[in-house]
Amino acid sequence: MIPWLQAGTPFPDAETALRSPNGLLAAGADLSAATLIAAYQKGIFPWFSEGEPILWWIPDPRMVLLPAELKVSRSLGKTLRNRHYEIRFDYAFEEVMRRCAAPRPGQAGTWISPHMIAAYAELHRLGRAHSVETWIDGELAGGLYGVAIGRAFFGESMFMRARDASKIAFVHLVRHLEREGFGLIDCQMRTPHLASLGAREIPRPLFSALLRELVHFADAPGSWVSLPAQALEHIARRPS
């Protein structure tokens, strides 16, 4: 059994999460900005289908990427050096979420509901949620979004409409976070796509310990702005 939370109720300890399904911690509460920020500070995230109660998760192990461990394949490096794309930060946040919510092969639905989009759009207005976008020929070709608290970034979802467009956005995100002193990118659950970029699983106690060190840093004001062309070229040419 898992507890049912009322709005404002503190989250239970991570050790009480279920093993099956992995990491299910609680249900209920709400998706207010205060609740979401309190959850992410503890490494907890919401994941549920439209029409279901809000479900809160903290899986073990946890998929993470340390910025210094980013892996860029030779083919991806060649793509990054191709200057026929533009990276934008926070230019089309809600559109990125809607693109991430679009049906994918083999999936019956999406957890990124209009309710979820509205909740994260509010986090975006508060400067807590961000998008990184790959634009090609004036079109949004790929991107991702997530939540930044202190010096930890919590990745939520990504999409692509052109080959490697989401990977391009991810690499630029990692390089940006590394420059800003971020120590951790939370990738939540293991996927081959993220593993190919250097993400790995760590035990939940280690993940929680890292978060406690990172989430209380002051945010870097003004750091989420689109990078000038010179900086983009420098990042693209940087060896992995």
CATH of the domain at 30: 3.30.70.3550
Give the C-alpha distances (Å, rounded to integers) separating 10 from 3, 7, 39, 64, 224.
11, 9, 9, 25, 30
> Do residues 30 and 87 both lie within one domain?
no
Q: What is the pLDDT of residues 53-63, one digit of tens each?
A: 999 999 999 99
Domain count, the chain: 2
Based on the fold, state whether residues 69 and 52 are members of the same structural domain.
no
Global pTM reads 0.91
pLDDT tens by residue, 175-187: 999 999 999 999 9
Query: What separation in angstroms does the CA of 165 have from each of 114, 139, 151, 174, 236?
Result: 24, 11, 25, 15, 14
Give yes or no: residues 211 and 111 share one domain: yes
Tell which of 43, 59, 75 closes a domain: 59
Domain boundary among 15, 43, 59: 59
Among 66-70, 86-90, 178-182, 220-224, the least confident range = 220-224
Claim to verify: residue 197 and residue 126 sit in the same structural domain? yes
| Residues of the domain holding 24 | 4-59
